Structure 1
Amino acid sequence: MTFTHLLILALIQGVTEFLPISSSGHLILLPNLTGMEDQGQILDVAVHVGTLFAVILYFWRDVREALFGIPAMLRGRLDAPGARLAFLLLIATIPVIVAGLVLKVTGLSDMLRSTAVIGWTMLLFGLVLYWADTRGAQEKEAADWNTADAVKMGLWQAVALIPGTSRSGITITAARQLGYARSEAAKLSMLMSIPTIIASGTLLGLEVAGTANAAAARDGAVAALLAFLAALLALVLMMRLLKSVSFTPYVIYRLILGAILLWIAYS
């Protein structure tokens, strides 16, 4: 695969993974609308690994705290902040794993990979994000995250398995509806992405483990590095912008793209 193609894939995944505009939807649209070669699962795994390292680096202090809290969590001691965070991330990840396995076994995941589906989800969940962002209170911080909120956000995250929904978008929507400030909602969404990307990446990795070759490994390494850089830049910019800007620009983008996709799908 050419470097230009790898760069386009990495930029799409890196920039859109943490913005509320759906990375999976954009990756599906790339071959659907341009006729370019489908990147395949090996590169899907690679770019997801790149974005995973970006979010781990950006939120390293919280990630380290959760990692050190795992032993206490396994002993049932949730009084320490790290153990509590690790437990809440686990709780929030269970729904998307269960839903993902159901879609995989039933074959529904492939049936949902259409331009029309992405167009409708772009529109619908863009409007839901706008509603939650403009009406939600901004009184809660990430430290206020509790089991009930983790369950609710986890259930919303499972909906993001429908292409075009956006994992970050739907979890940010849920957090804003629950009263978390914009930057705190984004932080929780990003932390939730870590175990989710690990779970999905592991599943995809096991599927393609026997098909990789030297060329695929090289392409994957390049794509992962580029996705890492793009994702890290997108994270830095978004978290800074959220101090003064709402999610409305992302909503407008979703509505415009959704309308264009529906026009293409039904014309």
Structure 2
Amino acid sequence: MTGMPPTESTGVLVLAATPIGDLRDAAPRLADELASADVVAAEDTRRLQRLLAGLRVTPAGTVLSYHEHNEASRTPELVERLTAGDRVVVVTDAGMPSVSDPGYRLVTAAVQRGIPVTCVPGPSAVLMALAVSGLPVDRFCFEGFLPRRAGARAGTLAGLADERRTMVFFEAPHRLADTLTAMGDAFGADRPAAVCRELTKTYEEVRRGRLAELVAWAAAGVRGEITLVVAGAAPAVPDLESQLGGIRQRVAAGERLKDVCADVAARTGLSKKALYDAALVRTGDGG
């Protein structure tokens, strides 16, 4: 267990998800939290004002800016408010705070002080893009924004080339074509992917295809908020010949050929029959 136990006077930190495009997606609790919070910490106070107007909410507490440029300096101030018993609500421009947005630093500080942290659930570009991509969703990872520099980006993608889980990225529209090209170089031009653009907005679009096809489409230019979903690497199937030496050794040590082939097939994905037939020719033993 980490952090100190909360005291009776300790406040609560609330991470509140905001709509990623369509204001109607706002959770009813969002309006309640914004109206009653002692402090509302917003990534962009001007965008917050538009959100408040749309929700017809007038906050009773203090509104503060909380963005990447002042996050380090403002976090201690917010922790003091929390320690004094205030309810602090954090909102970003869209989606869930701390997911590629300000919030993580404050959550960490709150946990260390034993301050309760909770969420107002809501829209998520990551989960929505994953759900509509048509790619496997049973296992996935979120990689956020890739490095802007070509060399650093290529290095990051090279490290993900063997990732088996479906991958979700954010990307700026003016870098999309270059990023898709770099992904094709790292993952192979035939790797399936989906570009999800302007999710929940008027011009929502999901473009699915191989990386090479998406590069050709994006070359003409793409606008809007982009979430990119890329299929994970297919499991590598070992060469059958590479398994025969180990099979022969196990059979020579006294194991039954059929049992060994069944075990190797289960571990590698190779055909049990193909392994058995090939090993039988080599060993001259039916097991």
TM bin, normalised by shorter chain, reads under 0.3
TM-score w.r.t. length of structure 1: 0.24
TM-score w.r.t. length of structure 2: 0.23
Higher helix proportion (structure 1 or 2) = 1
- In our comparison, the structure showing a higher alpha carbon Rg is 2
